[in-house]
Amino acid sequence: MTSAPNVMSPRSLLDCSRAELEALVVEMGEAPYRGRQLWRALYHELRESFDDMTSLSRGFRAALHQRCAIGQLETVYHLTSRDGSTDKALFRLPDGELIETVLMRYAPDGHRKVRRTVCVSTQAGCAMGCTFCATGQQGFRRHLSVGEIVSQVMFMERLARKEDELEIAGGMRSKGDRQGVTNVVFMGMGEPLANYDNTLNAVRTLNDEQGLHIGARRITVSTVGLVPQIVRLANEPLQVNLAVSLHAPDDVTRAETMPVNQKYPLRPLIEACKTYIDKTGRRVFFEYVLLHGQNDSVDQARELGRLLAGVLCHVNLSPVNPTADGPFGRPTRVGRLAFQDALRDYGVPSTIRMEKGIDIDAGCGQLRARAVGVE
């Protein structure tokens, strides 16, 4: 499998770092500062056409038309949940692959302000094979390029900015209170740390102060538990958050739903997380999908509490989004609260995630499955 589509021309500018973009501009006979103008037009102004980049000369724009492209996402579906809190888009890439992106809106909760969080995909499909995940049931096809990852955020940023303008026009907020996308989570289709370089380069683009300027601490990279990559991430000069999928408190149970546990069982995984905490000083978020009858008993919650006691972490508990091919159902509300209470007894903080977008198949891979079934 290749790490990016083999497209020789036109060149996608969104695959370039800022330094690479400036070098390309110089190669085209322009002054280096034109590269900075082009970067700003792409990411700060969100221009979708070279014709709209009026800060650039006509000749330069014509040359860009001949050699380069901006975006390569074709919208197949764009759905909004009934409560208006969630948008989900299904995109087709130039080679026909389908990927998903979700925008989730959160109201103030007493601790945090209004948030707009984008969940992005990093691969077409996924090789990890988690049995409760719609994407894992579809198999792996290829990695996404930097531009294909970043484009997903840019699509939702345009939507968020339109919402800001409507709220400003309606007097709901001031002009100085524009917000756009506030958070990005790499929790969509695929395993981000298996596509390590493109994922981290996408983070750098999103974080760039001359672009979307999304704070590193508002960006979360997730993993099913690739130990070497977690250690590598610990040494990166980026203040991103790390989320690790556990989904079971013991190796036997975890291996039943997560094949990766055969290669990276819990003990080395937890040690890698402790290394990350020691090197960065940041807590790790452990993701735990509650699968009724599989990993959601109070005894399993106690075992999880013993595993994580004393670790600088937070556990996010999420009832499973059932899939057509998945064998697992959702625990009851009483069962979820009992699980959380047992964790609390061991001093392990946790949150039962607010569910969003169930009516529009917002769970990872579900909208693609719907589209493939139709086609």
Q: Which residues are catalytic?
A: 100, 364
If one counts every other C-beta atom within 10 angstroms of the C-beta of residue 263, the result is 10
Question: Can you read off the two tokens belonging to residue 302?
Answer: 């106690």
CA nearest neighbour of 133 among 35, 249, 22, 260: 260
Q: CA 194, CA 136: separation in Å to the nearest integer?
A: 14
If one counts every other C-beta atom within 10 angstroms of the C-beta of residue 95, the result is 12
Q: Could you give the residue ranges of the DSSP H alpha helices within the chain?
A: 18-27, 32-43, 58-67, 146-169, 196-207, 227-234, 251-257, 266-280, 298-308, 333-345, 366-374
DSSP state of 368: H
Secondary structure string (H, E, C) spanning 123-138: EEECCCCCCCCCCHHH
Q: CA 152, CA 90: separation in Å to the nearest integer?
A: 10
Helix (H, G, I), strand (E, B) or coil at 281: coil
Q: CA 118, CA 25: separation in Å to the nearest integer?
A: 31
Q: What strands lie across the sheet with 98-106, from one edge to the other?
A: 74-80, 86-92, 98-106, 115-119, 183-186, 219-223, 241-245, 284-290, 313-319, 350-352
Buried residues in 189-218 as b, exposed as e (16+ CB within 10 A) = bbbbbbbbebbbbbbbbbbbeebbebeeeb
CA–centroid distance for 134 within its chain: 16
Helix (H) or strand (E) holding 141: strand 140-143
